[in-house]
Structure formats: structure tokens, C-alpha cells
Structure 1
Amino acid sequence: MCSGADEKGGEQVAGRAGGMAALPAGLAAAPGNAAEARARYFNSANAFNIHLDPVPAHIFTAPAAAALGPEGAVTGYFLCDQSARLGCPWPATTPFMLARYARIAPGARLAADFAASGSIWYVIAGKGRVYGAGAGAGAGAGAGAGAGAGAGAGAGAGAGAGADAGVAEESALAWSRGDVFYLPAGASMLHADGPDAAVLWLVTDEPLLAYHGLRSARPDDAAVHFKAGDIAAEIERIHRSVPDAGTSGLAVVFSSEAMQARRNLMPALTLSLNTLPPGCAQSPHRHNSAALTLIVAGADCHSRVDGETCAWSDWATLVTPAGAPHSHHNEGPRRADFLIVQDGGLYYEARTMGFEFLGG
């Protein structure tokens, strides 16, 4: 018997009921307790045709402009949030990632305590220190109140005083412009040193954990710090080498002692600093991971994402949806640098990354 045909006269059983896809969710006929009452039954016609809003290709410029605004701007976070377009009940830039900018006024503090497995940071401007959440030996005693996934811009978005009291100076991680650092889950406090405001870009996997209703607990996780000078030296080393056939670009990929077997910086997220020489274009390609790109340097550059041209602007955040054909183009006189976070760790682990060059 094929296609649901009734043996009596060959009539389509589903046809009598208006089609399998139209059937409502089935319920327990006589639930004897709350667990049985929570059961729902679907079928092979209506369980796999759920419509989800597509992830839009987008370039965020307003959050960067707000974070890099004139002196006197508030200390706080500026989210790259397109949850409304994703139909998502929590802040999200893509289904599994959230990007934001942090601004810390001179001498001010900003708390960081996200419902994430960790956070990846890039220092756009300024310098400072971070305490807590594995920032150094003995760190963690003085971390302040958290700034969760929904924290927006404003003096109250995680700013606090006295949060690092009692934390030894050697436990701090000192950062400056061009540095990259990773913070494990848990409460941290960032402090801006010097006469100028500090501005940072950061990405977390908060939407992924929110989807599962989880909060990370990895007690042995520790901070990782990549100094700007070391990053520059690695870039130069790569540019002096000869790329192997099939290499997708000239990039430094960041990992750690704990994650080096996977070449990730976090279990779910990968980080790379990509470069593109003047007058060059990266070959069109696609992959199953979504990507968030911070434009670090790139005059007269643009990206092509799913057939759309996305013009670059300083420190903007570009969203490349999962599976979207894309390429990057440098028509300017200087090398382009762009930092990319992907949720590629998930797809590498599942053996479903699906990277391919598209030609053209």
C-alpha cells in the first residue's frame, strides 16, 4: 500500500480528512496527569514544513556610530539586534550569535555577564583592564553586576563602582587598541584607562544558549589574550608564505591551548582576521555557518552577499546569512582587514560545514 491509499477501494485516507498537513496537533485522549497533558502529536506532512523568517543580509552602521560618538556619550552596550526580523524572542544578530559594541567612558566601568558560553572581544579604541571570569590568576572575586543579553545603551547598562575592589592587580588582563581577547562565561568588569573612551566590539553565542534555555558552566575555562603586535606579526608571516591550493584567503585564525584541536576559540564560534590586498577580490563561496564581520580597515571595499552589494564603512558589522553566496572586494589602495566570527564550530563538529567555491 503506497501514498496512504485505503485498501478498500483505493481511496486516499488523508483525503477524507482534508489532508494530513491540515490535521491539528494531536492531544492525549484522556490525560491522567500534567506530563501526559503536555504531549503533542504531529505527522510527516505537517512536522517538517515550518516557516522560519530568513536571516537578512545586513550591514549595521548605527550601533558603531553610537559607540564611537562624541565625548560625553554614555557608557553601555549598543546591540546589532535584528531579532524582530528573525521572529526571535531574545536579542540576536543571527539565530545563534549576537554582536554588540561596548563604550566605556574614561575612568568608567562596564560589567559583562552574559548568558553565553563565552565572549569574543576586539578593541577598536582606547585601553583598559578586565577583571574576573578567568582574566588572570586569582581573578573573579570582584566581578560586578551583570549586563545580560538585553542590555542596551545607557549609563546603567552594566556600569558600576567598586566592582574590582579586592582583586589583585596582577589578576587583571590589560588590553589596548587592536587586541583580541576571549572571556569565559561568568561575571567580568571592564575598566577604561587613559584620557579617552574605550570602544570594543564583541560577539557571543547568547541566542544559541537562549534557544536551549541554558546557562554555561565551564569552571575550568580561562581567558585568552591576543596582543595587537603578535597579531600583526602573524599576518606578516602569512603574507610572506605561499598559499596552498584551495586556500580561501590570507587570514589568521584564533584558537587557544584548550581549543586548538578544533581550531576554534569557543566550542560553537570561530574567529579569524582576514586580509585582502589592494585590487583583489576573494572568490565567491558559501558555507553553512553564518558570519558576522567587523570592518577593521578597508577604503573603497564592498561585499557581495546573496546578490546584494554591501558597501563597507569603518567599524560596521556585516551579516552574512548561512548558505548565502558571498565575496569580498578591495578596490582601494591599501590592504583590507576584516574580523570574522562564525558559528562554524557547530557545523564542523556535525561534519556539515558545506564550504564550497562558486566560481565567477
Structure 2
Amino acid sequence: MNSPMKIDAVPANQLEAEYFEYSKAANPISANLITRIPYHNFPASLCDSGPSRVIPLDLSDALGCEGPATGPGLCANFIRLNTGDSLTLQPNATSQVFYVIAGAGEVIQGEHSIEWSQGCFIALPGLLDARFSATEDARLYYVHDEPLLRYLGVTRSTDRFAPTLYPAQTVNAKLRVAANDPRAQDRSRISILLGNSNFPQTRTVTHVLWAMYGILPAGSIQKPHRHQSIALDFIIDCPTGCYTLVGTELDVDGRIRNPVRVDWAPGLAFVTPPGYWHAHFNESDQEAFLIPIQDAGLQTHLRSLDIRFS
């Protein structure tokens, strides 16, 4: 009688090993193994009233990742902070950027104290908790990179920059200089990028995050462009008749084929997925203002941003 075949146990250090034929694994998105980043809009009404709180703009279910997350590496939020209230923020993040939609107050992080008001931008590192307090009812738009650290399985350990204020008066003056430049209408965007002296190569607000403050002039079209960073867009103010078209392809005339239309409204936040063409339109007789915040600091460092214009 034949002896039973001996089956060797798999060594413990091989238990998690897998092997895939190249064509079945090289493009997980096309194979539906990983989801695409979805289009999504978040209305201003999410933070118009109610108690003081942080409101994550969470798409983690659609992304198939642990949340909250608005993209694979970033989380956008609204903050509602009522007069006299305080909130302590303590994400496991290296980079935090805030735009003050309305109100005024103070943030304390370690030995640093910053007074803020409507129209200011604030960049904070993540090693220490940040305590925000309001001297009048306030709303803020807030983006951080905790989802990236969560995916990498790491914790913050070193701050790469100090808490930094970009005052409203200064950023508005810089944007107006850019808009009044005689060559402005020949450029693809009329905007300023917030930078930090610690990051001279990427010229970004933090080593991970990129923040733009832009103007869409009356009756203008900002032609399609694309990049591999996700854009978490926030509309500061706009008249009726402003919108964005987003799509995956251009036609022979450089227009977006079969676009999705996103109609703007003051206080609206929306996601522009990486690699998608997008163009902005203002069909009114008034200016509009927007803030895209992206992971383009990281993408630029990796040399993978790949920004292109039609």
C-alpha cells in the first residue's frame, strides 16, 4: 500500500506571500480591484449652524479605506466654532491647512499663538495638539494628511515647519497684483500659490500640501488642465453662472469630452479626482474666488505631479 504523501507546512515567513500574473495585477483600477476617486460635492449648509464641531467630508466608504478620508491621502473638513467655544485638533498628521470662511479667534499650538480672522490662511504642523477658540461665530475649511499616515502605518515624529499665518490683507493684495498684471489674461490661471521657505524645491505651503488662492474673472474661461494630485476645491464666493467641467478625455478641439458639470455656490466643497481634465467657467459679470488644496507637495517631491494644459 502506498504511503500517504507528506505535505510540508508553509513556513511562517511565507504565509502572506501571493503571486499574480502581470496583466491581472498591473492596473488594479481597470480591474476594479481598487475604486476610483469619486466626484462629490459638500454643501455649505453642513456647517451653517449647530454646535461647535469638526465635520469630516468623508468618502472612505467609496474609497474602500479606513476613514475619515476625502481622498486616499487627505481629509477635508468643515469646522463650526461658536463664540466662546474651543476645539482641540489632534490628528495623526504632518500637515494641516485652514482657510477662515467667517469669524475670528485664536489658535495655540505649543509656544505659538496665532490670531485669525475671515480670509486668513493658516498652516500648522502636526506633532502638537492645536487649540482653536472663537471670539465670534466662525467657520473654517480644513485639510490634513492623516489618511496618508494611516495608510503608511506611521505616526508623526518631526515637524517640518512652524505654525504659519497668511493674513487676509496680504493674500488679497498678492492676488490682486497677479490679476492686474497685463499678462494675466494670457495665463491658464489667475492665482497665487502659498509657499513656505522650508520647501524651496516644491514651492508649496507644506511638504505634502499645495494651496492655491485663485480668481475667476467675470466672463472668463480657464481652459482645461490636469494633474495627478487630487484637488479638494472650496468656493469662497461666486455669482450665479460659475461652474467647473470635469472629464477623463479631450476632443480634437481641446474641449472636455462628456464632462460632468459642477455648479458653484458660495461655501461649496467638491472633489476633482487626479488625472481628470477640468476647466472653470464664469458666465456672469462678477468675479469669483476659489481655493484648491491638493497633495501636490508630495507629488512634486516624487516627480509625479505631471501637470498638463490643453
Please tell me the TM-score bracket, short chain as reference. Answer: 0.7 to 0.9
Contact 1:290 1:343 (C-alpha < 8 Å) held by counterparts: yes
Residue 13 of structure 2 corresponds to which residue in structure 1? 35
Deviation (angstroms), 1:45: 4.0
Match 1:266 to one of 202, 206, 226: 206
| Letter paired with 1:303 | T
Residue 70 of structure 2 corresponds to which residue in structure 1? 93
Q: What pairs with 1:341-356 in structure 2 (closer than 5 Å)?
A: 341-356=293-308
| Letter paired with 2:294 | Q
Residue 333 of structure 1 corresponds to which residue in structure 2? 285
Give CA deviations for 1:294-319 in whole Å, capped at 9, x if unaligned: 10011121111120111111111011
Match 2:133 to one of 181, 188, 191: 191
Summarize the Cα distance change of 1:123–1:321 in structure 2 as closer, same or farther, 3 Å threshold: same
Residue 53 of structure 2 is aligned to residue 53 of structure 1: no
Match 1:248 to one of 188, 192, 208: 188
Deviation (angstroms), 1:41: 3.2
Q: What pairs with 1:315-334 in structure 2 (closer than 5 Å)?
A: 315-334=267-286
Residue 47 of structure 2 corresponds to which residue in structure 1? 67
Tell me how far apart the structure 2 counterparts of residues 126 and 336 of structure 1 sit (CA, whole Å): 20
Match 2:175 to one of 235, 258, 270: 235
| Letter paired with 1:53 | T
Summarize the Cα distance change of 1:42–1:179 in structure 2 as closer, same or farther, 3 Å threshold: same
Deviation (angstroms), 1:333: 2.0
Name the SS for the 2:173 alignment partner.
Answer: helix
Residue 243 of structure 2 corresponds to which residue in structure 1? 302
TM-score, length-scaled by structure 1: 0.75
Deviation (angstroms), 1:276: 1.1
Q: Which runs of 4+ in 1 moved over 4 A?
A: none
Deviation (angstroms), 1:31: 3.6
Higher alpha-carbon deviation: 332-341 or 214-223 = 214-223
Residue 253 of structure 2 is aligned to residue 311 of structure 1: no
Name the SS for the 1:292 alignment partner.
Answer: strand
- Structure with a larger share of its residues in strand: 2
Contact 2:95 2:209 (C-alpha < 8 Å) held by counterparts: no
Residue 115 of structure 2 is aligned to residue 174 of structure 1: yes
Tell me how far apart the structure 2 counterparts of residues 241 and 120 of structure 1 sit (CA, whole Å): 28
In structure 1, list runs of 5 or more residues that go unmatched: 1-27, 134-138, 140-170
Contact 2:178 2:191 (C-alpha < 8 Å) held by counterparts: yes
Residue 105 of structure 2 is aligned to residue 128 of structure 1: yes
Name the SS for the 1:283 alignment partner.
Answer: strand
Give CA deviations for 1:233-264 in whole Å, capped at 9, x if unaligned: 10121122233797321111001121233211
Contact 1:298 1:332 (C-alpha < 8 Å) held by counterparts: no
Residue 3 of structure 2 corresponds to which residue in structure 1? none
Match 2:92 to one of 115, 118, 124: 115
Deviation (angstroms), 1:220: 5.5
How many residue pairs were aligned?
287
Name the SS for the 1:271 alignment partner.
Answer: strand
Tell me how far apart the structure 2 counterparts of residues 114 and 175 of structure 1 sit (CA, whole Å): 21
Tell me how far apart the structure 2 counterparts of residues 245 and 237 of structure 1 sit (CA, whole Å): 13
Summarize the Cα distance change of 1:354–1:67 in structure 2 as closer, same or farther, 3 Å threshold: same
Name the SS for the 1:56 alignment partner.
Answer: coil
Percent identical across equivalent pairs? 29
Contact 1:90 1:210 (C-alpha < 8 Å) held by counterparts: no
For the pair shown, the structure with the greater C-alpha radius of gyration is 1
Deviation (angstroms), 1:191: 0.6
Name the SS for the 2:46 alignment partner.
Answer: helix
Higher alpha-carbon deviation: 45-54 or 296-305 = 45-54
Residue 158 of structure 1 corresponds to which residue in structure 2? none
| Letter paired with 1:254 | L
Name the SS for the 1:231 alignment partner.
Answer: helix
| Letter paired with 1:37 | L
RMSD: 1.9
Summarize the Cα distance change of 1:177–1:29 in structure 2 as closer, same or farther, 3 Å threshold: farther
